[in-house]
A and B are shown apart, each in its own frame.
Chain A
Amino acid sequence: MIAIVDYGAGNISSVKKALEHLGVEARVTSDACVIAGAQKIVMPGVGHFSRCQSLNEHLRVPVLDAIHNGKPFLGICVGMQWLFSGSTEAPKTPGAALFTGECSRFPASVKSPHVGWNQIEVRAGSRLLKGVESGAFVYYTHSYRAPVVAETTACTNYGGAFSAAIERDNIFGVQFHPEKSAEAGLKMLENFCGL
């Protein structure tokens, strides 16, 4: 069973639907016991980074425990941003700091939010992106983005390069929405389910 962590950050039914489409049992939950009992964790999230405050208050420990126990974890959008130290969008709300760096707003030279389909440049060796080629289009909707780090497995250029996907051991994050990225997105979710 995959636990989809619900911390009040927007509509997450589409993530559940996509996992079920792949034939995987998924449960939307804000219950620490369910998270502890799950084989894998998906943490979606859209909207303001301050939403992570309620996550930090109620579910930070069970989620980090699951990660430290080696369970595959996938953060989507704000769920990925949370893996970094924080975001300038809500400076008082810390992230998990599992990756180095802080998320920040797009420069004024490009329209923000970044909404729509954009291409990813994939680095070789990613388990999550296996079978997804460089140049594939994925669906984005966000105003803040994570920097390119050593663990970046794909980046997108929009007002400069940012991390489209990151991965290290059992921890994965994507800034785009795989559940809304047609075949390419379903392929990634399938890869994650197969870990």
Chain B
Amino acid sequence: MASDRLNPSKTNRDLPGIPQLAKRIIACLDVDAGRVVKGVQFQQLRDAGDPAELAVAHASAGADEIVLLDITATSEGRKTLAETVRRAARDLFVPFTVGGGIRKLQDAAQVFDAGADKITINSAAVANPALIGEIAGRFGSQAVIVAIDARRATGPVETAEVLVSGGRTATGKKALQWAWEAEEHGAGEILLTSMDRDGTGLGFDCELTSAIALSVSIPVIASGGAGNAQHFVEVFSAGHADAALAASIFHFGTHAVADLKQTLLRAGIPMRWPC
């Protein structure tokens, strides 16, 4: 068992009594045409509710940050998005990130205008890395998260490849190199999703997360594979992640964040508490 290797007393401990930067638990809402959708068995999407209500509910339940990912591809859907972001942002007083379909500065500006604090860019950044600097130049690096979808199958971490277009298209780019480049271009954070683990519930790719987290100086958010609380303990300790993201409140229900944080605190991981 991977979990048996962990020694929580050795993880992320600074000098006792000195407060530490908390590791963040980020709730991700996948939104399609203005509604939160939830994948069941990785495929069928079912309606899970109103994004604005769920964003606030997750924040009150203890999520440290909210990410809203627009999975709609149509221009019609994009218009709905600005309105959705506006409604979700209204009563949200924790950091709020919006991603999906942002291809140019103007798209980002619209989302910021609607109330987002940060945006994530993925395919568009790979196609045009200068876009990272363009958005960072206008809104600050702290507002730009470069999302990296990576796949390595059973290969070593150095072979992990960047995928775009929702994980459908391989780019030949190496994830480690791309993370470093993204930082050079002005990214404020990296959102790393393991496409090998995404949807499996087998745990985060801690090895890849760690390799990237240790090679860049900006925070790394781990995503893909969360199945239980122990997976979060692992990604924060062995994986050196600064934050971990899971979709649709980890598929456990909205009371799960507090329980998850309790487990992490017991394992010696610094958490925002009470939340």
Residues of A at the B interface (CB closer than 8 Å) are 9-11, 13-14, 17-18, 21, 46-48, 111-119, 121, 135, 137, 139, 141-142, 156-158, 179-183, 185-186
B22 at the interface (CB under 8 A from A): yes
Interface residues of B: mostly helix, strand, loop or mixed? loop
Is the CB–CB distance between A47 and B219 below 8 Å?
no
B158 to chain A, nearest CB (A): 22
Residues of A within 8 A of B94 (CB): 139, 180-182
Distance in Å: Cβ of B198 to nearest Cβ of chain A: 24
Tell me which residues across on chain B come within 8 A of A111, comparing CB atoms.
Answer: 217-219, 242
Provide the bound-state CA to CA distance between A111 and B93, in Å: 25
Residue-wise interface mask of B (57-98) relative to A, using a CB-CB cutoff of 8 A (1 in contact, 0 not): 001000010000000000000000000000001110111100
User: Which of chain B's residues has its CB closest to A178's CB?
Assistant: B93
Judged by a CB distance under 8 angstroms, whether B102 is at the interface is: no
Chain B residues 127-169 with CB under 8 Å of chain A are 139-143
Cα–Cα distance between A172 and B59 once the two chains are bound (Å)? 28
Contact with A along B29-41 (1 / 0, CB 8 A): 0000000000000
Chain B residue total in the interface (Cβ 8 A)? 36
In the complex, are the beta carbons of B19 and A157 less than 8 A apart?
yes
Determine how close the nearest CB of chain A comes to the CB of B247; give it in whole angstroms: 20
Interface secondary structure of A, over-half rule: mixed
Q: Which of A47, A135, A180 contacts B93 (CB 8 A)?
A: A180
User: Given the known A-B contacts A13-B115, A115-B219, A135-B19, are A47 and B139 also in contact in the complex, defined by CB atoms under 8 Å?
Assistant: yes
| A17 and B141 within 8 A (CB) | no
Tell whether, in the assembled complex, residue A116 and residue B64 are in contact, meaning their CB atoms are under 8 Å apart. Answer: yes
Taking A10-B139, A141-B188 as contacts, is the C-beta distance between A17 and B19 under 8 angstroms? no
Please name the residue on chain B nearest to A112 by beta carbon: B217
Q: Which residues of B contact A114 (CB under 8 A)?
A: 21
Q: Which 10 residue pairs spanning A and B have beta carbons closest together? A: A47-B140, A119-B19, A141-B142, A117-B272, A137-B272, A117-B22, A10-B140, A46-B140, A11-B112, A115-B219
B residues in contact with A13, CB < 8 Å: 112-113, 115
Residues of B contacting A117 with CB < 8 Å? 21-22, 24, 64, 272
> Are A11 and B21 in contact, CB atoms less than 8 angstroms apart?
no
